Structures are given as structure tokens and as C-alpha cells.
Amino acid sequence: MPKQRIQYVCHECGAEFPQYFGRCPSCHAWNSLEEQIETQTSPSLQRFSWSTLKEEKDASRVDSPSKGQPRSSFKLSQIADQTQSRMSSGYGELDRVLGGGIVPGSLVLIGGEPGIGKSTLLLQVANTLSQRTRVLYVSAEESGQQVKLRSQRLGVGPKPEDVDFHNGDSKPQESSLQNPDREGDPFTEELKSQKPKTPSSQPEKTEKTNGSNGHSSPENVEETEPELYLLPETDLEMILRELESLQPQLAIIDSIQTIFFSSLTSAPGSVAQVRECTSALMQVAKRENITLFVVGHVTKDGALAGPRVLEHLVDTVLYFEGDRFASHRLLRSMKNRFGATHEIGVFEMVADGLMEVLNPSELFLGNREEFAPGTSTVVSMEGTRPIVVELQALVSPASFGSARRAATGVDSSRLLQILAVLEKRVGIPLSKLDAYVASVGGLKVEEPAADLGIAIAIVASFRDRMVDPRTILLGEVGLGGQVRPVSQLELRLREAAKLGFKRAIIPKGQNPADLGMQIIPVGKVLDAIIASIPSQPATMGSPTPASSSEASSSEVDHSEVPDF
């Protein structure tokens, strides 16, 4: 019988200790150590380790030792160039978050709250890709019949009336979830699908490009059976065997916390199980060039469950977030080895599943015909995507002794800093007033470029004035009351001009290209207040003094200093 070794592993940071501590000495988290009994590795899984890899199929790689021989170092220049084009998922928003499409052989972790739509999105992606390649969906949380019922609700696969339950045959048909035309999107127009990996005994499928969106689909969909395979299994060894025998181009594991390695005595979802299962899946994905999407649970604090090493092992970490009272969902990239981080994709949950939102700015913009005092508009950068967001502020007398400050979708610490700057540098008495700031649509606006928009919204609510709804405010507010430059200014202004905005109040010293907008450079917060907030109450449609000018750039009139 193999020797057993007891260790205590922190589920917050992954540190290991020979004895139990009430508080982790590494990350100082309380009650985070879990007992782990280590045993000898199962012989059936030893072939999945890096030291016993099988011979690579591509002979051009110099890092492929013969079986039984140890690896040796080699020069980076000796590695043959292999340009692998990305594969489109069929959803432009997901392709954008992944950096331009799915990278073959990558390991992607997607997490989110229960019921947010992780399994729904991946099942729709699996259905779309199964029209032209082989896909394996491993369901460790649902039975095969439950997945079938969910797929019928989403319109994935054949309809119930098309299935012959006597012999199991079904009429192949097109998916009812068609991707809308995304003409002009650089992420989807450049994506070209690749031929699926099929055995030599099967005939090749001719593909053609579907419209102008750059996605390819089989030429004769009626004669092509979708290659979507389902495996309801929780045993890791069975899953690995199926991956090697089926050789899918894409595999989905739902979820990593419910599969287990039988040689470990710990329960599924524990630190040891999650670490070992993820490591084995990663090795198979890299060796067999299989793209793996792994679903991960989250804790009550919203962080991904399991050890931190889970996020280090995978290539990409995606987080699916959204308000349970709203229909839209945000897919955010927290880590990406093949693209930009903090990129977002916007989806909307409808009766037939998740649909893409092609213009997210319209989702986070309120009705500009009903602009109220205390409202401003900013352009927030989410990765490489500019999104126009409406900010709302409400300033009112404090109901109790101390003033209250509340922020929804805005960084609360920056709100306190902006309130202090307005009182100290501008002279607005806010210490005895309640202040509430929120972003429309629930989008989290945390970058400093939104500081000026927050400050103007607060002052507009304090003075009960309405900012021109055709005005964009961009700038970081310094502690001395200065308006500091922002990054990617021209890209932000381009997005605002596309949505019909006519004026932009920007930091002084930045000179963007002429986009047909009136540019007002300001150096201090007081200058921005004078330029954006009228001295008299304004209504929708009545031009402010600055907006009535025909010039493309204007200077601030310091003769109209407001009396606070």
C-alpha cells in the first residue's frame, strides 16, 4: 500500500503546510486550511504527465523527444514557425473577448454566478461549431436527458418533432440561433473557419463563407449531421480517455469543481482535486491541440472557487457578470495570453438563450430626450472598446447627522476624492449633503477618465441645472483641482461622434483630430463647470452659451463664474 502524507492546503492562496493553522501564514485568511491526503499517482494517469508525453504528430518540432528519453534545452530560433489562424466561435462578442477568435489548443476558464448563463453560452457555441467541426460537451452536473431538454429550450439541435425516438435518428437542420450580421466589425470580418479534424475515412466537407460576417458554414447544411457529442461523466480518467479517442477540436467541461481524480481521497471541488484535474486537462489540451472551455464556480464573495493556481494554469480567464434584475450580461476578460485583458462582450438574455448586443453604448445610455439635472455622459474604455455611459448624481440635504455617500457602478473611493476636491478647490459646500452617484445599466465605471463626468454631475445636481445632453466629458480630476489627460482620447471621441454628440470637454493640451465636434479644452474643474453647466436653468433643446458656437474649438468664458 502506498504511503500517505497529510498536508493542509489554503483554498485562498494554495500554500501548503505540514500542520493546521487557524490563520494562513501566507495570505492571513482565517479558517482557510483544508486537510489533504496525498497518495501515489495512478498508473493510468502517468501517461498524461509531461515527462511521458507521446511523440508529437508534427515532426517539425524540435522539442519532441523520442519515447523514454529526457528532454533537453534548445534555441528559440530552432522552433519552426507555425501560424495557426484563430477559429471563429460564431459569436463576435465572444471572439472579441478572446482576442479575435478561439486559439487552437488553448485552455479557457469561464466563471460567474449561478444562473448567469455560462452553460447556456457554451452550449450555443458548441452547437454553432458542431456544424463544421467535432465538439465534445462533458456534463458533470446534468444528466444527458437534462442537457437534451435544455438544448430544446434554446433551439439547439433537432426539434422534438424531428426526432425518431424508435431508432434515435433525427433530421439534421440549421440552428435557430443565427448570428446577426456584424458587417464592419474588425474582429469577425478577419476570422476564417478551419476544416474540422475528421478521420480519413470520412469525406471532406466543402465550406463556404456565410454573407459578409466572415463566418463559414457547410455548403450543404441539410446533408451534414452536426458533430456535437455529449458525455455525462465526472471521472477524470474517463474524460481523458474520451478526449484522446474522439479527438474533438473543441471540448467543454461543465464544471471543473464536479469532476474528480479517483486516486485522491479529497472530495470533488477541493483544492487538490481542482489543481490535479486542471493540470491533467491542460496537458491533454496542449498535446492533442484541443481547445478546452472549463466552467468554474464562484464563491459567495464573487471570486473564482478553488486555488489561485487554477487561474495561473489556464490561458484565459473569462468572467460572466450581470445584474439578476436586468437582461444584459457582460463577458469580461480578466486574463488572456492571446489578447487584451479587461475586454468585454455584451449579451442579452432572451427566451431563446443569449443574443449579442451589437451596439453596447445604446444599452448604457439613458433616454437623452428626458435628461434631468445631475446627469452627464462619459466614454469608458473596456479593453479596446469605447462605451458611452450615462452617469447620474443626486445631492440632497442629509436626513441624519452625518452625510451619506453611495455609489452604484462607480468606485466609491474615487467618489469621496472628487467630493473633497469640489469642496476644497471649487468651494461647493458638500460636507453636510448626501451624495448618490450611479451609472446607467449597471456597467462598472472604474477608470479615472470618468472623474470629470462624475464631478459635473454632482455640481449639476447641487445647482439643479441640466448639462447639455449632446456633451461628452472626459478627464481625470487631480487633488489640486486640475483636469489631467486621458488615454485613447481620439478613439473615445470617435465613438461619441458616431452616436451624435456635438460637444466634448477634454483636458487642455490634448489635440485630437477634427471629428466634426466642438472641442472645449479645460485645465481645471472650475473651467469645466463654467463650460458645461449653464448659469440659468435650461431645458431640453435650449442651447447653452458654449453649444451655440459654430467653431470646432472654444475657450472657457471666465466671466461666468458660478456663485456657490
CATH at residue 385: 3.30.230.10
Q: Are strands 135-139 and 250-254 parallel, antiparallel or unpaired?
A: parallel
Residue 505 belongs to some domain of the structure:
yes
Indicate if 96 and 229 belong to the same structural domain. yes
The CATH number assigned to the domain holding 137 equals 3.40.50.300
The residue out of 323, 340, 358 marking a domain boundary is: 358
Asked if residue 533 lies in contact with residue 459, where contact means CB atoms within 8 angstroms, the answer is yes
Residue 66 belongs to some domain of the structure:
no
Indicate if 284 and 373 belong to the same structural domain. no
Residue 404 neighbours by CB distance under 10 Å: 12
The residue out of 305, 324, 358 marking a domain boundary is: 358
The residue out of 358, 392, 414 marking a domain boundary is: 358
pLDDT per position in the chain (564 positions), as tens?
Answer: 455 678 888 877 778 888 899 999 888 888 888 887 766 555 444 544 433 444 444 444 444 444 445 667 888 888 777 666 889 999 999 999 999 999 999 999 999 998 899 999 999 999 999 999 999 999 999 999 999 999 988 887 654 444 343 343 444 333 333 343 444 444 444 444 443 344 333 434 434 333 333 333 333 434 467 899 999 999 999 999 999 999 999 999 998 999 999 888 888 988 889 989 999 999 999 999 999 999 998 887 778 877 788 888 999 999 998 876 778 899 999 999 998 888 999 999 988 899 999 888 878 886 666 678 999 999 999 888 899 999 999 999 988 778 999 999 999 999 999 999 999 999 999 999 999 999 988 788 989 999 999 999 999 999 999 999 999 999 999 999 999 999 999 999 999 999 999 999 999 999 888 888 999 999 999 999 999 998 766 554 444 444 433 444 566 665 555 666
> Phi-psi region for residue 409, left (φ > 0), alpha (ψ -120 to 50) or beta?
left
Compute CA distances 480 → 280, 329, 453, 483, 522, whole Å.
Answer: 54, 38, 17, 9, 14
Residue 223 belongs to some domain of the structure:
yes
DSSP string, 207-251: EEE-TTS--EEES-GGG----EEEE---BHHHHHHHHHHH--SEE
Compute the distance between CA of residue 391 and CA of residue 446 in angstroms, rounded to an integer: 12
Indicate if 439 and 352 belong to the same structural domain. no
User: Cis peptide leading into 255, omega within 30 of 0?
Assistant: yes
Indicate if 27 and 106 belong to the same structural domain. no
Indicate if 354 and 367 belong to the same structural domain. no
Residue 67 belongs to some domain of the structure:
no
Indicate if 255 and 345 belong to the same structural domain. yes
Residue 544 belongs to some domain of the structure:
no
Residue 329 belongs to some domain of the structure:
yes
C-alpha cell at 138: 462533458
Domain that includes residue 10, residue range = 5-39
C-alpha cell at 201: 475515412
Compute the distance between CA of residue 58 and CA of residue 312 in angstroms, rounded to an integer: 27
Indicate if 227 and 158 belong to the same structural domain. yes
Indicate if 311 and 352 belong to the same structural domain. yes
Indicate if 324 and 374 belong to the same structural domain. no
Compute the distance between CA of residue 415 and CA of residue 437 in angstroms, rounded to an integer: 8
Indicate if 255 and 289 belong to the same structural domain. yes
Total structural domains in the chain? Answer: 3
Residue 409 belongs to some domain of the structure:
yes
Indicate if 259 and 335 belong to the same structural domain. yes
Residue 172 neighbours by CB distance under 10 Å: 15
Residue 419 belongs to some domain of the structure:
yes
pTM, two decimal places: 0.70
Compute the distance between CA of residue 518 and CA of residue 496 in angstroms, rounded to an integer: 12
Q: Which tens digits make up the pLDDT trace of 157-207?
A: 654 444 343 343 444 333 333 343 444 444 444 444 443 344 333 434 434
Indicate if 372 and 464 belong to the same structural domain. yes
